[in-house]
Amino acid sequence: MNEELKMYTCERCGKPTPNYREYSPSQAAIVGVQGRSWCDECRRELHILHEWENEQCAEERLVCPYCESSIDDPWYYDEDDEEVVCPECKRTFELEITTVRTYRTWRRIKDMPDGWNGEEF
Ligand SMILES: [Zn+2]
Ligand SMILES: [Zn+2]
């Protein structure tokens, strides 16, 4: 029996690979593709890169990806700061500040009906 393996192209290095990971429909909608192919080598590299980055997604605290200490005065940094030196371990890491959008809406005064007395209409 000679079962032929379906081959894909690694998205990262272009080498042929049998690896293919299909996204769930909801994931695919976010990422914009149906699935991804990465060869074993690239998978390993991406995994290593990801492990190294040690991304800290603490919503309200700024956490150092080296010593994982929480940095006081996070408001001291602003959106232009892309690199931060940890006050604890003195190592430099990258920072992205995301601002949460809030919404405030109100009716226009000029749309208030004449003689409106403060009750719902
Ligand atoms: Zn590859
Ligand atoms: Zn640190």
The answer to whether the CB of 38 falls within 8 A of the CB of 46 is yes
* 115 has a pLDDT exceeding 80: yes
Question: What is the pTM for the complete model shown?
Answer: 0.56
- Cα–Cα dist 33/19, whole Å: 16
Banded model confidence at residue 117, pLDDT cuts 50, 70, 90: confident
25: alpha, beta or left? (left if phi > 0; alpha if psi -120 to 50)? alpha
Residue 3 pLDDT > 80: no
Rounded to the nearest 5°, which phi and psi values hold at 16? -70, 140
Do 92 and 85 form a contact (C-beta atoms < 8 A)? yes
48 CA distance to ligand 2 centroid (A)?
20
Whats the size of the chain, residue-wise? 121
Ligand 2 centroid from CA 72, angstroms: 12
Neighbours of ion ligand 2 (CB under 5 A): 64, 66-67, 86, 88-89
64-91 tens-digit pLDDT: 999 999 987 777 777 777 898 999 999 9
Tokens standing for 78? 């602003």
Residue 1 is predicted with a pLDDT of 54
| Gap between the Cα atoms of 11 and 52, Å rounded | 21
Q: Return d(Cα 67, Cα 63) in angstroms, integer.
A: 8
What is the whole-number distance in angstroms between the Cα of residue 58 and the centre of ligand 2?
15
